[in-house]
Amino acid sequence: MALFMRDFDAARPQPLGGRERRTAAGAAAWILAFNARWQVALINHGLCDEATVSLVQNRAEDYLTLAW
């Protein structure tokens, strides 16, 4: 995610400001948390993608401190 945002920021005529960076990082963390929560809800149905849940569990701090 950080590499994508770095490349996106570099391709823009003007780099993202601090508030825009925080907003982008928050949006990235939100969608990852949403996807993990959805997968947890699917456990009872035997449809959970454990890899998604594990990724968020193992890298939570990285997502919450996303910077580029």
What is the number of domains present in the chain? 1
Whether residue 27 lies inside any domain: the answer is yes
What is the value of pTM for the model shown? 0.69
**CB of 36 within 8 A of CB of 43?**
no
What confidence tens digit (pLDDT) does each residue in 5-58 have? Answer: 899 999 999 999 999 999 998 898 888 888 888 988 998 888 988 888 888 888
Whether residue 13 lies inside any domain: the answer is no
Whether residue 52 lies inside any domain: the answer is yes
Give residue 19's pLDDT: 93
Element at 60 (helix H, strand E): helix 50-64
Domain that holds residue 22: 2-7+18-64
Q: How confident is the model at residue 67 (pLDDT cuts 50, 70, 90)?
A: confident
Give residue 17's pLDDT: 94
Give residue 2's pLDDT: 84
Give residue 11's pLDDT: 96
